[in-house]
Chain A
């Protein structure tokens, strides 16, 4: 009788201790992120539903004005400016992510074919440029693409740009900058995937299928898919919201959603509109993540896919 009375209380004591342990280890960080990121994000979302004051600051009452504005409806009637910006962002994201995949895929594979001793060094060589700040990297391209440089002259020769012009500012320069900036983010996860490659499967496929293309498609590609998807998330999300590269390399021609949002705050014009743009970016981000997860699951990846 007495015995059975002690046990539950000891157990509940242990449970309390466990819960306290959980609280003590997890709470500081959780509270930190909640206070300094979740609350601010909600505040920003709130700002999107406020009225734009005469001089750009949010004011009461609540309204949907900034969303209407974002969709292009000003009191001047509908205009396509923001739509252009949105489409340009999507286009840049898709093109640059695609190019990054095209470059990173063979590179990641190539690294795994090299001697094991060299691999860390090779990976490091790919990653090191991204340790310098993105402003500096982009500035490097400003130097390279300026008028009179060999690259710009080549561009003129090919007819990419008119005479006397540099290769920046242009949408082309923005794409180039994005590819350059995000390449390492794709190489790393792809490398991890290639390293885990089951070579027995590949061998079997080579015996099974006549053409190397089909062998690749059926044996190699599915195995690298988790890495590819992870890389796509790491590249596409930040590329979609990029601010620095279009600002420096796009001039007045390559404005992206990130610039539209940032300009509402740094150009002092319209906080609620900027916040509405931020919400659009958030939605796009989460839709993208969700889509990647679905694709990953359907194509046979496990929970490890993406995140």
Chain B
């Protein structure tokens, strides 16, 4: 009795193993996306429309996403959603494939400023997903009169005794330090970088520094009182606030005057995606006017989709989703680095982290 049971168990397991390898067939779409960035209802709708299954995987930072692709991920995901400054390096390393615009009828729905972006001229490889900003989140009880400035993070006299976090993605933290020092958020100058790295190092070594934290977890930390200042994204902030209004009553989002980040996340197809056909269908589905609006309404990020505009909730047309004109002037893209500049940056950043 026992023996037959064992044998059945083994065979069952064997079958499951086979099944799990065989499943990577035509009817599954593998989506590799940021956390808290997709409306489950959209996934359901897509699954129903094309009678397929969507398997979602998540990343918290772009370096994490990039390393997964490097480690064999190019043949495991159908759609990835990187940000603007990683797009050129994904193209250059051959980790992604060109989009077939014939299969993307809804590409014309995009706003004019997203039709031909600098990071990917003509959207040859990418289709914009959402755009947003990265700013400071802080506890308004602790800092009732917080300056609209990076000094909240970098000036010890402004915040002498409360825990704060910096961004885990080095380029954003570095940009913030650059902006505070007056070199502008998008600095790439060697001297400016060195100065910024030194500032980050000094800041990190303050007693009240509580760690390098990615954007979404930073909000959780503030909610739990683990830190009082951090860096996060406008849409995630609103999303969390909507989920837990009580806690987020005393947490605010702010774009420093010295300049901050604006970003675009775009959908791309890895070079050896198991199912590029379905990937194109998915991208086109997201670019649909109503689906695009549904997505923005769900995750509180601004839509690059012109046709979606009539369907958008009111909150999406005002700050912080749609930054004020003044803020808009101060927003910059994070520079896309390559070659020696990337190498230099990585050395500086690893110095900051390890010292």
Contacts and interface: CB of A to CB of B under 8 A. Distances in A.
Contacts of B344: 75-76
Interface string B335-355: 000110011101110110111
A147 B354 contact: no
B161 A56 contact: no
Which of B63, B71, B89, B347 counts the most chain A CB atoms within 10 A?
B347
Interface size class of B (residues with CB under 8 A): 35 or more
B212 A165 contact: no
A148 B89 CA distance: 43
Contact of B204 (A79, A161, A253): A253
Given A81-B354, A84-B355, A162-B207, A251 B212 contact: yes
B66 A268 contact: yes
Nearest to A252: B212
Contacts of A82: 350, 354
B163 interface: yes
A269 B346 contact: yes
Given A76-B348, A82-B354, A166-B226, A253 B209 contact: yes
A147 B204 CA distance: 18
A163 interface: yes
Contact of A165 (B64, B204, B210): B210
Contacts, number: 100
A255 B351 CA distance: 11
A46 interface: no
Contact of A164 (B89, B163, B342, B346): B163
B354 A260 contact: yes
A162 B70 contact: no
Nearest to A268: B67
A45 interface: no
Interface residues of A, number: 37
Given A147-B226, A255-B353, A270 B346 contact: yes
Contacts of B66: 55-56, 268
Contact of B207 (A74, A161, A260): A161
Contacts of A166: 163, 210, 226
B2 to A, nearest CB: 25
A165 B93 contact: no
Contacts of B63: 267-269
A169 B354 CA distance: 14
Contacts of B71: 265
Given A166-B226, A252-B166, A252-B212, A81 B70 contact: no
Interface in A75-120: 75-76, 79-82, 84-85
B162 interface: yes
Nearest to A269: B346
A252 B346 contact: no
Nearest to B61: A267
Contact of A80 (B70, B204, B211, B355): B355
A174 to B, nearest CB: 12
Interface of B: 63-64, 66-67, 70-71, 89, 92-93, 161-163, 166, 204, 207-212, 224-226, 228, 338-339, 342-344, 346-348, 350-351, 353-355
28 contacts: A54-B342, A54-B343, A55-B93, A56-B66, A57-B93, A76-B348, A80-B355, A82-B350, A84-B355, A146-B224, A147-B163, A147-B225, A161-B207, A164-B228, A165-B210, A169-B211, A251-B210, A251-B211, A251-B212, A252-B209, A252-B212, A252-B353, A260-B354, A265-B67, A268-B66, A268-B67, A269-B63, A269-B346
Given A75-B344, A81-B355, A269-B350, 15 more contacts: A54-B338, A54-B342, A55-B92, A56-B67, A76-B347, A76-B348, A79-B351, A85-B354, A165-B208, A253-B204, A255-B354, A260-B350, A260-B354, A267-B63, A268-B64
